[in-house]
């Protein structure tokens, strides 16, 4: 990424500097994914038109409690599914969202996801914004 693109990304709200520096899940007990599986069983894999619904259109998305990270497992976060991917918003400001996504089939991310990075075990950190900035290659481009 060029210096101009990096400066533009930071000023346009694509997450704070270092948003891509997210650790992999650190809870690995046998039931670590129980709440994620329950959420998907209740809501399905395609409950939303786009992960951009966090920023537009969905004022009260359902919440998910029990992410497989020590620092997140006892907190509730808004969550949506779209296209076989679970999107969890960790931080929202105006139209910008930073979160984690569970992508069990390694599906292509929605075009509203302007940046993502694999973490481990089908988990990704992701960001979206209403500005047309791409921080990371899309999955189909990375193949």
Q: What is the mean pLDDT of residues 102-128?
A: 87
Residue 112 has what pLDDT? Answer: 78
Q: Read off the tokens for 70.
A: 């020590």
With residue 112 as reference, give the H or E element that holds it: none
The owner of tokens 């020590």 is: 70
Residues in the chain: 143
* Residue 86: Cβ-neighbour burial (10 angstroms; 0-12, 13-18, 19+): buried
HSE-up of 102 (CA within 13 Å, CB side)?
A: 19
In the chain, % of residues over pLDDT 90: 38
Distance from C-alpha of 18 to C-alpha of 16, rounded to nearest angstrom: 6
Higher-confidence residue: 90 or 7?
90
pLDDT for res 72: 93
Q: How confident is the model at residue 98 (pLDDT cuts 50, 70, 90)?
A: confident
Q: For residues 84 and 80, give the distance between their C-alpha atoms in angstroms, rounded to a whole number.
A: 10
Domain ranges of the chain: 3-142
Position 41 pLDDT exceeds 90: yes
Looking at residue 97, what is its pLDDT? 80
pLDDT confidence of residue 76: 94
Using the 8-state DSSP alphabet, how is residue 15 labeled?
-
pLDDT value at position 42?
A: 95
Q: pLDDT for 50-87, tens place per residue?
A: 766 665 556 678 899 999 999 999 999 999 998 999 99
The pLDDT tens digits for 18-32 are 566 778 999 999 999
């Amino acid at each position: 990424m060029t210096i101009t693109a990096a400066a533009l990304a930071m000023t346009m709200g694509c997450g704070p500097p270092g948003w891509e520096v997210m650790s992999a899940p650190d809870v690995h007990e046998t039931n670590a994914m129980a709440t994620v599986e329950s959420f998907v069983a209740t809501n399905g894999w395609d409950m939303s038109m786009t992960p951009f619904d966090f920023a537009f259109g969905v004022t009260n998305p359902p919440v998910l409690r029990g992410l497989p990270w020590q620092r997140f497992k006892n907190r509730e976060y808004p969550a949506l599914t779209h296209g076989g991917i679970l999107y969890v918003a960790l931080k929202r400001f105006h139209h910008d969202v930073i979160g984690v996504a569970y992508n069990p089939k390694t599906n292509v991310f929605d075009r509203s996801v302007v940046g993502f990075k694999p973490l481990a075990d089908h988990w990704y950190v992701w960001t979206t914004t209403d500005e047309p900035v791409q921080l990371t290659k899309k999955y189909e481009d990375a193949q």
